[in-house]
Structure 1
Amino acid sequence: MATSTKRITVHDHCRVAPLASADLVAEQSLPLTYFDIIWLNFHPIQRLLFYQFPCSSAQFLEKIVPNLKKSLSQTLKHHLPLAGSFYFPLNSGMPEFRYVSGDSVSFTIAETSTSTSTHDFNYLIGNQARDADQFYPFVPSLPEPRTDSESAFKIFPLLAVQVTLFPETGICIGFSNDHTVGDASSIVRFIKAWSSATKLGEEEAKISSLPFYDRSVIEDPSGRRANIYWNQMKHSKYWPQQTYILLKEDIQRLRSHVLTKRPNVSHLSSFTISTAYVWSCLAKTAAKIGEMVDDNEPEYYVITVDARHRLDPPVPATYFGNCLAAAVTESTHGELKGEDGFLVAVELISELISKRVNNKEETMRGADDWMAKYAPLFEKRVFGVAGSPKFDLYDTDFGWGKPSKYEAVSIDGDSAMSLCKSREFEGGLEIGLSLFKPKQDAFEAIFNEELKI
């Protein structure tokens, strides 16, 4: 029976299990590596893909939803950890991912009001400031964990999916996943595998690069990182969401400015330019909104780096799980908000990428102490980057064409920006931010004004 909320009607909450077949294992368990344990206390990652695809309610429920369920079942057969759960030991022992026969993924089918369908869809796929709360009806909730007192585990589901119809206008597919099960590389590969199976059918899609699960490829030179991290971790308002576009010519103009003022800066990729620009603009917003920050207050910049090809020996690109290293640099509030704040940010980020990110020996240096070193930063002024132009979800086609908009909803309230390729402008980038309304307004004014200068 359908249930209604203010924004949507939920037609069904169901479960989708991996496709039963002769080669489907009855049980799979995977240990957590130290790369996974880092994310134990992190919030779920929430993604939305919006597709312009005029479709009636009958077509949606009778044809599209059954096809999505079938292809998801086929795809989960190769991604069993996502259908399984995270097992957190209540007493002693180490955590693990475990799939057992009968496990499945939460799948919600919903529909918006016909009368507001087009208006709501066009509002949500825009680049203007949108109330971040307006996205949440389309984001699935991970089911509540349960406690198995007999085995002494608390059991956490890892993935939930929601498909919402905007009648005669479009479709939104929402994903929520626990970060411990996999990084962006892993989850984006899963989403693309599902879209391919939906559009082409499993036989035609023929997943070319099946996920690789062997944890032994993650080297732990000290033999104790997972235990160290586990021991450290086991105890352990109105926000508008807005998209900003940096066009190819904007990036080139900023790059030329850097080369004129700082000709010795070596690494001037679009990633360096865009994140440095946002970091410096954010620092300038404090004074605009009357936020009192001492000029000597540290400002931290944090990015995660795919470590698959940086480990020795390298890990296969199809490795499913987390394999991220952190890279951090810092400035002061006074430097970043100053006239040359963008140049300061570019120099620091360029050096960070040249000396740490692009140097595999440096990328993994000090990994035994990452938790103790980096965890305290999140109580300070820290700016992070979620996503990368490398993980392009704008080519994710379920048979309805390319997405009209991608939103990283989980940045809402975070001191982080999302970053992906622009769908509309070749060579451009889409930047997502979700800040307290006065701060968002101040940032927008500075972002646009600095580009003119």
Structure 2
Amino acid sequence: MYWQNAMAAILETCRVPAPSGAAAELSVPLTFFDIRWLHFLHPIRRLLFYDFPCSKSHFLEAIAPKLKESLSSTLGHYLPVAGDLIFPLNSEKKAEIRYVAGDSAVSLTIAETGSDFDDLIGNHARDADQFYEFVPQIDPVKDESEYQRVPVMALKVTLFPGRGICVGFANLHCLGDASSLVRFIQAWASINKLGGDEEFLTKQGESLPILDRSVIKDPLGIDTIFWKTVKEVPLKSLSFPLPTCRVRATYILRQSDIERLKYLVLAKKPGLIQVSSFVVTVSYVWTCLVKSGEQVDDDVLEYFIFTADIRARIDPPVPANYFGNCLGCGVARIEHKQLVGEQGFVMAVEAIADEIKNRVNKKDEVLKGAENWLSEIKEMTGIRSLGVSGSPKFDLSTADFGWGRARKLEVVSIDGEKHSISLCKSRDSEGDWKLGSLCRGHKWKLSQLSLITG
């Protein structure tokens, strides 16, 4: 069970189905991009906080019913979101996401809280555990006779009477990557704001989700290679360890700061390409985290691991509105003594920039060796690494349910990692990056950092 703040009051729990006109049944096979995440059962958890003064009566009589109605309409276009992950046992069949009308639906919790909205959306240090009051829970894995089943998505909407609303999302990573889930959330918000999906379809018709897995080419049969590995271990529901004993805070990196970092790098490495805002920011954070961390031997390798949307980077390219996972991976490596040295920041930029240039951005390299991804992940267990989640490319804060742009986005998922960064845009000023961190224990040693960029 997840720890829950005692101030939360559950007003309603329900299951929202797709509309009656939707398909009666849908089975979506998993590609190798999806299968690699099957045993990553700590859901991706995101919270959107909105400034929206509202009474409890208005919330229950007008806001909540409209949210349910618009969610149902949205599921008609995004049926996999309402489905279950089906994990076959003792069978050559592969895992899939299955939707069945009358049985499949999304769990939606409606709640009310007495928590301090302004404290939660602030940039100052706050107890990380208090955010779990707003995180929806995905039902545990169910064991059937021939397979295991678990929902892929859960939602929670919490009212701060007279102050605001929090919309919480939890999804299994095998459902889709940030590109896919942000599109779903923005579609729900748009349909809710417009009061139906007719105008939404007029505006978004050409970018409705593509569910056809044939757009992912797999001539090497990597999905079969991955399935042979993952099917040996049944699914297991994982409870999140609470209390986390961490503190969440936000820092702002201005556009001028980012430009100064770029200038510093290019002054020393004038021929270096791919010196982007992403590269200099994560390099700066990586260097700071390692320098502020525990002491290790000089020759120990430090790793920076990141994923990238490669829909446009593979051959043939995958449509931008493909719903599922389509992520490549980059890994930069530097010896500890180099990263903590005087030129550590510049060396970090060079290592990450070279990985992007030579692997992630090259169509003939981005999937090279993909059949070994699972074994490589196992080999990297226990290494000293910093990971990154999310991207400023996908601006979730723009999801407008009719209450304006979100005041704050919190990516709670990074609590489960030893060192991780989440990255998203800022609403404060165009070009600025917000740096939100999680610190462990009383020494306030930096252990997580979420980066919010403009």
TM-score, normalised via structure 1 length: 0.91
| Uncovered stretches (5+) of structure 2, i.e. residues with no partner | 234-243
Is the 1:411–1:433 Cα contact (8 Å) retained in structure 2?
no
How far does the alpha carbon of each residue in 1:83-123 deviate from its partner, in whole angstroms, 9 at most, with x for none? Answer: 0100011211211111011210000000012xxx5xx1111
Please report how far the alpha carbon of residue 167 of structure 1 lies from its aligned counterpart in structure 2 after TM superposition.
0.6
Write the distance in 2 (CA, Å) between the matches of 1:72 and 1:439.
44
More helix by share: 1
Write the distance in 2 (CA, Å) between the matches of 1:109 and 1:351.
47
Q: Which residues in structure 2 correspond to 1:359-438 (within 5 Å)?
A: 359-414=362-417, 415-438=419-442
Q: Describe the SS at the equivalent of 2:380.
A: helix
Please report how far the alpha carbon of residue 344 of structure 1 lies from its aligned counterpart in structure 2 after TM superposition.
1.0
Count of matched residue positions in the alignment of Structure 1 and Structure 2: 429
Q: Which residue of 2 aligns with 1:450?
A: none
Q: Which residue of 2 aligns with 1:227?
A: 224
| Uncovered stretches (5+) of structure 1, i.e. residues with no partner | 448-453
Q: Which residue of 2 aligns with 1:36?
A: 34
Tell me if 1:271 matches 2:269. Answer: no
Write the distance in 2 (CA, Å) between the matches of 1:371 and 1:413.
20
Please report how far the alpha carbon of residue 82 of structure 1 lies from its aligned counterpart in structure 2 after TM superposition.
0.8
Q: Which residue of 2 aligns with 1:451?
A: none
Q: Which residue of 1 aligns with 2:134?
A: 138
Write the distance in 1 (CA, Å) between the matches of 2:5 and 2:440.
26
Write the distance in 2 (CA, Å) between the matches of 1:443 and 1:10.
32
State the superposition RMSD in angstroms: 1.8
Q: Which moved more, 1:322-331 or 1:434-443?
A: 434-443
How far does the alpha carbon of each residue in 1:234-273 deviate from its partner, in whole angstroms, 9 at most, with x for none? Answer: 3444022222221101101111111222222211110011
Tell me if 1:200 matches 2:197. Answer: no
Please report how far the alpha carbon of residue 440 of structure 1 lies from its aligned counterpart in structure 2 after TM superposition.
4.2
Change (3 A) 1:212 1:88: same
Write the distance in 2 (CA, Å) between the matches of 1:221 and 1:379.
32
Write the distance in 2 (CA, Å) between the matches of 1:112 and 1:281.
37
Is the 2:47–2:168 Cα contact (8 Å) retained in structure 1?
yes
How far does the alpha carbon of each residue in 1:28-68 deviate from its partner, in whole angstroms, 9 at most, with x for none? Answer: 00111100011112121000000011000001110000000
Is the 1:140–1:174 Cα contact (8 Å) retained in structure 2?
yes
Is the 2:437–2:447 Cα contact (8 Å) retained in structure 1?
no
* Matched AA of 2:245: Y
Q: Which moved more, 1:52-61 or 1:92-101?
A: 92-101
Is the 1:138–1:164 Cα contact (8 Å) retained in structure 2?
yes
Q: Describe the SS at the equivalent of 1:92.
A: coil
Is the 2:292–2:445 Cα contact (8 Å) retained in structure 1?
no
Q: Which residue of 1 aligns with 2:108?
A: 107
Please report how far the alpha carbon of residue 145 of structure 1 lies from its aligned counterpart in structure 2 after TM superposition.
2.0
Q: Describe the SS at the equivalent of 1:310.
A: coil
TM-score, normalised via structure 2 length: 0.91
Q: Which residue of 2 aligns with 1:175?
A: 169
Is the 1:418–1:433 Cα contact (8 Å) retained in structure 2?
no
Write the distance in 2 (CA, Å) between the matches of 1:193 and 1:107.
17
Is the 2:5–2:130 Cα contact (8 Å) retained in structure 1?
no
Please report how far the alpha carbon of residue 441 of structure 1 lies from its aligned counterpart in structure 2 after TM superposition.
4.1
